[in-house]
Amino acid sequence: MTTNSTPESSAATPLFDLHALVVAVRRRRRLWLAMALLGLLAGVAVAVLLPPPPSAVTKVLVSHPEDQPNDTGTLIRTDTEVLATTRIAREALKTLKSQESPEDFMKEYRGTGLTNNVLQIDVAGESDALAVDRAKALADAFIADHVKRMRETANAEAQALLDQRDRMRAELARVNKEIGDRSPESTPEDSAGIETLFSRRAELNSRIADFDQRAAEARTGTPKVIAGTQIVDAPRAVRHSLPMTAATNGAIGFVLGLVLGLAISAVGALVGDRPVLRRDIAANLGASVVAELPRRGGPLRRGRVRLTRERLTTTLSRIVHGSPEPLSLLELGCAHSTSAIALDLARALAAEGPVLVVDGLPGAELANLRPQPGDPRIVAGEHAPALSPQDRRVGVGSVAPGTAWTDLQYLGTQTVLVVRAGHGSAAWLHTVARQLAEQRIPVLGVVLIDPDPRDRTDGTLWDGLHIALRGRGERAARQNGSGQRRTERKPAWAARGADNDQEAR
């Protein structure tokens, strides 16, 4: 029957809890807000400390003989790549009479195809005037190169047509020579051959006329290309606005920093596995959340926090009311808050009789709180073993890494865990629960410090109080001399451990 408990629990536990992830990321808002602010400042700093160099821009209308309405921009992309060649850069440098290498000059300008026939040229320079001159030289060099290439293409096409025409003329001359003085009304014996020759001559005359017309059209298209390729937007300096640039760079840096901060927070939450929701903390500790205490806020929340502390003290007083066993408050990530809660609880219990506060915290947190006159006496943790069992005491200790677990029994035979949300990992919460179980110190409940205000999960474990009562029953049986123990259900983590041990055997 125990073999089915592990699969059922694994199936019930979601592999990825989006709610817990969102809460964990929201609790790390200081990190991603700081990253966003850092990105904003970095963007503004780049705009101020690294202003863009002087630049100029011009636009060129490029005409192509192969222009088609359905062109996808292939021709203008070809022109953009031709602009970024050493030949164009070298011709522009010749016009500028500059000794700069074409390779270096190519790094200071770029071409962008705005439409199928409009090419924009952006050029940087040491000054606005030099940038404008560079843009003009580049535009002129590109237009001259484009016109030259189109003219050479047209001439080559026309020459090919004329060469074909000349071959047709040579063949026509041979046909005319074969025909000679004969006419279509020759003797019947030669009528078939004569008709073939006359048909061939007519075909050759038609093809020669067609080649002449096509060669003329090829040459005629070149002037259209030359007239259509021109500068449509004269070179002009680009004005840079420092406030606008700073705002743009700052917005980009803010967004990038925010995205990076959120990504780091999400990855850290997944890798760290630090429970934040009260249901997860209660499940990992095996004890119910009996009270909560928000962190300190501004002046408007100070009164609400004080009322919450009073209710917390009342709740803890009711939990230990009538029990002669010493109680300990064990903190995890909230030593100061735990010390304040212990003093408040001791003051409340002082109405029933003398109370001692055993300070087992490292760093003397209770001494730093400056107890008021009339407060319960504070005893150092090393003197706890010498105290009389009849003394009613409230112990304060820690379950942080490095805790001496065997010393916790001297602080109290029953405990309330005071845990700050999102501080301990799930593995460490399991360790705390197992160590307290080994020391036979029942956990009466968990006080959650700094809970998420939007957490709507339930931190109640219906068997949590049952576990605590089991510990009380075992000690009462030992005190009465009866060795009988009631069969109780173990917590989930203990059941899983037992199943694993049984399978290992």
For residues 344-360, give the mean pLDDT. 83
pLDDT, residue 130, reads: 93
Say which range, 37-46, 115-124, 398-407, has the weakest mean pLDDT. Answer: 398-407
pLDDT at 502 over 70: no
For 233-266, the pLDDT digits (tens) are 999 998 888 888 899 999 999 999 999 999 998 8
pLDDT at 92 over 60: yes
pLDDT, residue 259, reads: 94
pLDDT, residue 343, reads: 86
499, burial (CB in 10 Å: exposed 0-12, middle 13-18, buried 19+): middle
Mean model confidence pLDDT for the chain: 80
Instruction: Give 349 or 503, the one with higher predicted confidence.
Output: 349
pLDDT, residue 298, reads: 55
Strands 443-449 and 356-359, bridge-based pairing = unpaired
Strand order across the beta sheet in which 118-124 lies: 109-113, 118-124, 55-61, 230-237
Please state, in angstroms and as integers, the Cα–Cα distance from residue 10 to each residue in 1, 14, 167, following that order: 16, 8, 89
For residues 164-189, give the mean pLDDT. 73
Q: Which of 123, 121, 34, 115 is nearest to 77 (CA)?
A: 115
Length of the chain counted residue by residue: 505
351, burial (CB in 10 Å: exposed 0-12, middle 13-18, buried 19+): exposed
Q: Residue 42: which residues within 8 A CB-CB, separation 6 or more?
A: 253, 257
Report the distance separating Cα 323 and Cα 458, nearest Å: 27
pLDDT at 500 over 60: no
Token pair listed for 186: 């020759």
Phi, psi of 390 (to 5 degrees): -75, -15
Report the distance separating Cα 81 and Cα 101, nearest Å: 19
pLDDT, residue 135, reads: 94
Task: Count the neighbouring beta carbons within 10 Å of the beta carbon of residue 444.
Answer: 24
For 58-79, the pLDDT digits (tens) are 999 998 877 777 777 888 999 9
Rounded (10°) angle between helices 242-272 and 29-49: 150
pLDDT at 222 over 80: no
pLDDT, residue 389, reads: 65
- Residue 381 binned pLDDT confidence (cut-offs 50, 70, 90): low
For 317-333, the pLDDT digits (tens) are 888 777 778 888 999 98
Instruction: Give 29 or 389, the one with higher predicted confidence.
Output: 29
Strand order across the beta sheet in which 393-398 lies: 289-293, 443-449, 414-420, 327-332, 393-398, 356-359, 377-380
Query: Mean pLDDT highest for which of 69-78, 191-200, 414-423?
Result: 414-423
Rounded (10°) angle between helices 492-504 and 5-12: 130
Longest dimension (CA), the chain: 153
- Residue 102 binned pLDDT confidence (cut-offs 50, 70, 90): very high
pLDDT at 8 over 70: no
pLDDT at 372 over 80: no
Give residue 415's Cα distance to chain centre: 42
Q: CA torsion, points 464, 471, 499, 462, in degrees to nearest 10?
A: -10
- Residues forming a β-bridge with 396: 329, 359
| pTM of the complete model | 0.57
pLDDT, residue 378, reads: 80
| pLDDT-above-90 percentage for the chain | 27
Q: What is the phi-psi region of residue 374: left when phi exceeds 0, alpha when psi lies from -120 to 50, beta otherwise?
A: left
| Residue 111: strand, helix, or coil | strand
